[in-house]
Structures are given as structure tokens and as C-alpha cells.
Amino acid sequence: MNSKFIPPAGQISEINGKCISLVGDDIDTDRIIPARFLKCVNFDSLGKSVFDDDRKALQGNHPFDMVSNKDASILIVNSNFGCGSSREHAPQALMRWGIQAIIGESFADIFYSNCIAIGIPCFTLSKKSINIIQKFIEKNKNLFFNIDLVESYASSTNLNFKLEIKETSRKMFLSGEWDTTSKLMDNSYLIEKKLNNLPYIKFNSNF
Amino acid sequence: MSQDTLFDKVWELHKVASLPGGSDQIFIGLHLIHEVTSPQAFGALKDKNLKVKFPNRTVATVDHIVPTDNQSRPFKDNLAEQMIDTLEKNCLEHKIKFFNIGSGKQGIVHVVAPELGLTQPGMTIACGDSHTSTHGAFGAIAFGIGTSQVRDILASQTIAMNKLKVRQIWCENQLSNGIYAKDLVLHIINYLGVKAGVGYAYEFAGPAISALSMEERMTICNMSIEGGARCGYINPDEITFNYIKDRLCSPQNENWDKAIKWWESLQSNENSIYDDVVKIDASKVEPTVTWGITPGQSIGINQKIPSLREIHANDQFIAGEAYEYMGFKPGQPIKDTPIDVCFIGSCTNGRISDLRVAAKVLGEHKIAKNVKAFVVPGSEKVAKEAKDEGLDKIFLNAGFQWRDPGCSMCLAMNSDKLVGNQVSASSSNRNFKGRQGSPSGRTLLMSPAMVAAAAINGKVSDVRDFLKNE
């Protein structure tokens, strides 16, 4: 786990880091961060609790506890990662543990948008390619990827992959507009116009 | 690409702008908040020195962390108290309407908004909770969001989002006696899989859907997200309009007629084009029970837990994990599986009709020894209605505990938790590992009627055996 957490900001065009592999389909956000850790009014202390139940069950043998994965920042996962609850606490916990990008077979919708909203690019690759990466990590322990968002490309001395990412997300990272609030507020005039033109605003006097 | 469906019409109506990256800026007509996913959003507003743009378009209640045995303040759990206190302060500071405990309007956010008439057709509705899809039952476009998007809605009443594709799930024929909306939606999720809905909104339609009450429709749309679809909806009709009429926040007098006219204009019709259509035969649905650790791992009450060979290659890894975690063997029947805890409640099945159905199954029966059973009404209004009808007496007489409203053991953020590897029969929505509060706890999802039957027999049972003499 990284000792000092600095949230991402501005344009994100490149991520360099060590890969950590987590094998399994349909890993839900309750597993990423069990509900008891949601009793908080900020996200600050979530990093240490990521995968708490799974890690306790594996008694030190969970990927997030292995010494070889120390300081890893690129998470390799399988299919439907992040399904279930919409809790942003899940990507926040991963980010505070040290994860800066995720490459997987597929992601659940809400988890994916939460990742984008906090500055974690999520890329997809075929099942076959993910298996190649996961087997490589299992055997060699160390895999360092340079991820280039301009080319959507992950490269290393051993393995190279053309990554898939939603074009809207890729553009947002390159422009720095993934931090959406101010961009949305720029359209203040259009928002007010929209409010006044919605039929139900007119016929609902009670709220 | 879909065209002229209700989803397309509502999306276009709420589109504020196309954003430079290519996503749409969507206006959110109704924003619901609760104590778990909002504090960090208010914190972010404070950090950026921003105000809530339209305070009267956001409504708050408290549900996830509330105790169900003693709701007097301060809560025994300091962290829970801190969370409700933070929500109270944020709502006061930003002039947001808050339905607090004791107001008569508190409850699970997805139970409260419909019963107050806040949820209406044609709206966009968002909440920092994945089961926001529930509100789609009214022909609204409703979906769960994360805390950063809660912040964006508070600040701008809009979010950035890519338009979803639309899959129609056409449910032919009718459900048989003793089969409920919960069985149908579990069946659909099993058939399509837990990730088929990624990138889609689900439109539930067909004779079996049209015949459902509003509360049953909410059960269906609630679990869209368990099939991967963050949004599920049903076209509004007479049943929808009759439910909304004369509720606290529904359109009144001459506005009512205008509203109906507009709502009818939103319906998908013969000209609608879908990205995909799937057909389901509702008459084939059996009382359905989950055996694994995803809501897609379910079988009919008389079926056996499938072997790896019977499971699609893509689902075999999670099936292997499920056998191990649940301690079940392939080929084992689900019927007669011993149950330790029975839970009736949640945003899926904690409404008055759910309680009525379960109470009817219970009748004069007593629950089995060694079973702990409890009912958590979905809202203060549900609790009051149930008491007025004497349902609380039926549950108490049977040996159930009668609790105060909240999310309770659906996600176990309060003190209602499984212990060790207990098995629960639960009317909730998720059977994930550790979901109900114990890292080794095991959840079998089923309809409230099936939970009542399991409570009586102390094991998974076919509720139709209790309905035979009707």
C-alpha cells in the first residue's frame, strides 16, 4: 500500500506501474469494500480495508497482501468486475491502496463510471489476453506496464497489448475533463432553461 | 440504435448538451439522497465552495445505517449516529427536504419516494444507490450513481453520461399461482446472466408484466441491476396512474389530466426500435431460489444445484467459488436446505403487499424452532398500514420479530447480521459473499412468501404447499 495518497488531477495521458493480478469473475463491490467500512463521512481510511473479508479468508495469501505486489498500481481483473452496489467507496478504496488503472475483461456500469469520475482509467482486453497477462504475472511475479492513453497501448519488455477504452472516457482523461463538475456548471444557462421546459416541473406544485 | 422507446424519449427530453468528450449532459428531475453516499459529496461542495443548485429537486431520508430494534437518538452505534447527524446538518444547511425518523415518511429511499408520489413517469431519477432502478417501474429513467455524481447533481442538477442501449424483455403468458414478481426477475437474471445488462436499459413488457401491481413492478425493476442493467423500466399504464393518484406529491386537479396525457405520450409503441429483444415464458417460472453467490445462480424449487457441465463455460469459475463458499454440492436439491435466519424486508420486497403475502402464508402457523425470523417494513408508512391491518400480530404470533423500518440485513450496515456461516432465507436482492454481515454467512434469495414458508418448516420449502387449500 502506498504510504502517501495524492489524488489524481488534471490530464492523464500515461500510467506507468507494476501489475497486480486478481483472478475471478463477478467480483462485486461488497467484496471490494464490505458494507461495515461504509460507516464513514469521508473516504480517507478506506485503502487499508480493501478486500478485507477476502484477505482475512486467505490469511496473507491474497494478492493485495503479497509482498511481490507491494507498490503495484495497475490491477488486472476478469469479467464483470465491480458488479453490485454503486458505492464509490469501492474504487476509492482501490485508489487509496495504490491502484491507478484497471485492465479487465469487462466492468459493471456503475463501477466503471465511478472509476472514470475519480480518475482511474479502466481498459478492456479479450479473455485470452487477460489470461496471458495473469499467467505471466503468476509465473514471473513482476510485470511493469507503460500505458499510453493517446495510443491506448500497454507496453512492457515482454508483453504488448492494444487496449480498448470508451472513446468518451479516453478523451476526458486526455483533456482533464474527467473531473466533471465545472464542465457541467459551465452550461448553467442551458440547465435553467431545461428546468423551465420540463412538463412535470409545471404540473408538480408540491415539490 | 434504439428509437422512439420510452427510454429514448425521456433521454432526449432531459438532454442539456453534448459534452466535448462525446457523452451527454443529462438533467436529473429527482435526486434522492441518504446518509451513506452523500456526506463526501457535500464535503466536495464545501471544498470547492459550491452551493446546491436546486435544493427542492433533492429529497433525503435515512435508511442504510438505522437500527431496527431501537431508533431513539443518539443511536448506540457512534458511527451511525455521526452519519445521521451529518445528513441532518447538510440538509439543514442546504435547505433540502429530509424525511427523518418519526416523521411518518421515513424509510428505505426506494420505498419512500414512490409512496409519497415523488416518483412519476417521464422523470430522470438518480440516487447514490444501485437499486434506484426500482423507480423505473413507473416509466421513469432511474439509475444508481456514485458519490462524485451525487456531487455533480447537487452542484448542477446534471450528470455526464453515455446513452444506454435498450433491450426489451418481453414476458409472455402469466405467472402461475404461488409464483411472484421476485421469482420472475430471478428467473430472468438466471436466463440472461448477471452481466448481460451491462451497457443496457431493460424495458420489461408483455402480458405477464402488464398484469403486475405497481409494487410487483418495483420488485422487477429493482433487480435490473442484478442483471447488470443500471436502469430498468416499465411503460406507464392505468395501474401506474391509479397508484400515483392522490399521493402527497402527485399532480392535483387540472394538472392531473395534463400529467396523464403527457405520461401516455411517453409509452413505447409499435414504432419503437430496440437494440435487442428477448422473450421469456412467464408460465414456465417456478418458485425460484438462489443457491450461489450471485443473483444469477438460481434454480426452481424442485431443481437440483447444477453441475459444472450444465453451466456455461464463462460461468464455471464463479460456480466453483459458489460451491465452495456455500458448502453445497452439485446435484444436491435446494428444497429442504436447513435455514437459520429468515429476513423479510428491503427495497426489493419490503412493501405492504409483500408483508400481506407473507402473513397470509403464515396464517396460524408458528415458525420452526431454531429459526430466527424478523420482518423489517420498508417504511414508516408500510409499518403503519401493516399494524392497521393487524399483520404485525400475525408475524409476532408466528414467532417473527417485528422491527422498525430500514435497510437492515439486506446489507447489514446496522446490527442486524448473520453470525458465522448461518444460512438465511432472504427477501432481499443480493447473495454476495459476506453481504448479510458475516464474512462466511450464506444467503438464499427468494420471494417473501417463500421466506415465510421456509420459516415455518425451518428449511427451504415450496410455498405452493401452503396455498393448496385456497
Please tell me which of the candidates B29, B225, B251 has its beta carbon nearest to residue A198. Answer: B29
**Interface contact flag, B77 A34, Cβ < 8 Å:** no
Rg of chain B on CA atoms, in Å: 21
| C-alpha B338, offset from chain centre | 26
- pLDDT per residue of chain A (207 residues) written in tens, 0 to 9: 445 788 899 999 999 999 999 999 999 999 999 999 999 988 999 999 999 999 999 999 999 999 999 999 999 999 999 999 999 999 999 999 999 999 999 999 999 999 999 999 999 999 999 999 999 999 998 999 999 999 999 999 989 999 999 999 999 999 998 889 999 999 999 999 999 999 999 888 666
State how beta strands B24-27 and B15-18 pair.
antiparallel
SS (H, E, C) B210-279: HCCCHHHHHHHHHHHHHHCCCEEECCCCHHHHHHHCCCCCCCCCHHHHHHHHHHHHHCCCCCCECCEEEE
Quote the pLDDT of residue B259.
96
- Of B285, B316, B334, which marks where a domain is finished? B285
CB < 8 Å to B22, chain A: 167-168, 171
Quote the pLDDT of residue A3.
55
Residues in chain B: 470
- CATH number of the domain that B43 lies in? 3.30.499.10
| Domain-embedded: residue A56 | yes
Looking at the structure, tell me whether residues B191 and B254 fall in a common domain.
yes
- Of B285, B310, B345, which marks where a domain is finished? B285
Please tell me which of the candidates A109, A180, A198 has its beta carbon nearest to residue B160. Answer: A180
Tell me if B141 sits within 8 A of B201, measured CB to CB: yes
Amino acid at the residue B260: I
Q: Which residue positions in chain B have pLDDT lower than 50? A: none
Say how far apart CA B294 and CA A83 lie, in whole Å: 10
Looking at the structure, tell me whether residues B398 and B253 fall in a common domain.
no
| Domain-embedded: residue A99 | yes
Alpha-carbon dihedral A86, A89, A95, A101, rounded to 10 degrees: 0
Task: With H, G, I as helix, E, B as strand and everything else as coil, classify residue B333.
Answer: strand
Please tell me which of the candidates B25, B159, B439 has its beta carbon nearest to residue A56. Answer: B439
Domains of chain B: total: 2
Looking at the structure, tell me whether residues B250 and B308 fall in a common domain.
no
Give the C-alpha distances (Å, rounded to integers) separating B195 from A123, B238, B307: 17, 32, 21
Nearest to B445 by CA among B365, B316, B342, B321: B342
Q: Which residues contact B29 (CB under 8 A, 6 or more apart)?
A: A198, A200, A201, B14, B57, B123, B124, B125
Please tell me which of the candidates A30, A175, A194 has its beta carbon nearest to residue B432. Answer: A30
Nearest to B346 by CA among B449, B231, B448: B448
Burial of A196 (0-12, 13-18, 19+ CB in 10 A): exposed
Amino acid at the residue B247: R
Looking at the structure, tell me whether residues B119 and B146 fall in a common domain.
yes
Task: With H, G, I as helix, E, B as strand and everything else as coil, classify residue B344.
Answer: strand
Looking at the structure, tell me whether residues B188 and B273 fall in a common domain.
yes
Identify the DSSP state of B414: S
Looking at the structure, tell me whether residues B171 and B295 fall in a common domain.
no
- CATH number of the domain that A34 lies in? 3.20.19.10
- Of B285, B308, B326, which marks where a domain is finished? B285
Assess B146–A contact: CB distance below 8 Å, yes or no: yes
| Domain-embedded: residue A200 | no
Looking at the structure, tell me whether residues B296 and B257 fall in a common domain.
no
CB < 8 Å to B28, chain A: none
| Domain-embedded: residue A37 | yes
**Whole-prediction pTM value?**
0.97
- Shortest alpha-carbon distance between residue A141 and chain B (Å): 23
CB < 8 Å to A83, chain B: 194-195, 228, 294
**Residues paired with A160 in a beta bridge:** A155
CB < 8 Å to A62, chain B: none
**Interface contact flag, A203 B255, Cβ < 8 Å:** yes
Q: Which residue of B has its CA nearest to A36?
A: B413
Q: Which residue of B has its CA nearest to A109?
A: B198
Looking at the structure, tell me whether residues B242 and B302 fall in a common domain.
no
Q: Which residue of B has its CA nearest to A85?
A: B130
- Shortest alpha-carbon distance between residue B158 and chain A (Å): 7
**Interface contact flag, B27 A198, Cβ < 8 Å:** yes
CA A178, A180, A182, A187 torsion-angle sign: positive
**Interface contact flag, A171 B50, Cβ < 8 Å:** no
Looking at the structure, tell me whether residues B193 and B316 fall in a common domain.
no
Domains of chain A: total: 1
Looking at the structure, tell me whether residues B320 and B273 fall in a common domain.
no
Assess B149–A contact: CB distance below 8 Å, yes or no: yes
CB < 8 Å to A54, chain B: 433
Quote the pLDDT of residue A179.
86
Interface test with A, best of B163, B195, B240, B308 (most A CBs within 10 A): B195
| Domain-embedded: residue A151 | yes
**Interface contact flag, A107 B53, Cβ < 8 Å:** no
Looking at the structure, tell me whether residues B303 and B248 fall in a common domain.
no
Q: Which residues contact B220 (CB under 8 A, 6 or more apart)?
A: B137, B181, B184, B185, B204, B209, B212, B232, B234
Interface test with B, best of A200, A201, A202, A205 (most B CBs within 10 A): A200
Looking at the structure, tell me whether residues B279 and B301 fall in a common domain.
no
Give the C-alpha distances (Å, rounded to integers) separating B255 from A96, A176, B115, B238, B259: 50, 44, 19, 17, 6
| Domain-embedded: residue A110 | yes
Task: With H, G, I as helix, E, B as strand and everything else as coil, classify residue A82.
Answer: coil
Tabulate helix, strand, coil % of chain B (nearest 5). Answer: 40, 20, 40
> What domain range includes position A57?
14-176
| Domain-embedded: residue A108 | yes
> What domain range includes position B47?
1-285
Say how far apart CA A22 and CA A94 lie, in whole Å: 12
| Domain-embedded: residue A192 | no
Please tell me which of the candidates A91, A191, A199 has its beta carbon nearest to residue B157. Answer: A191
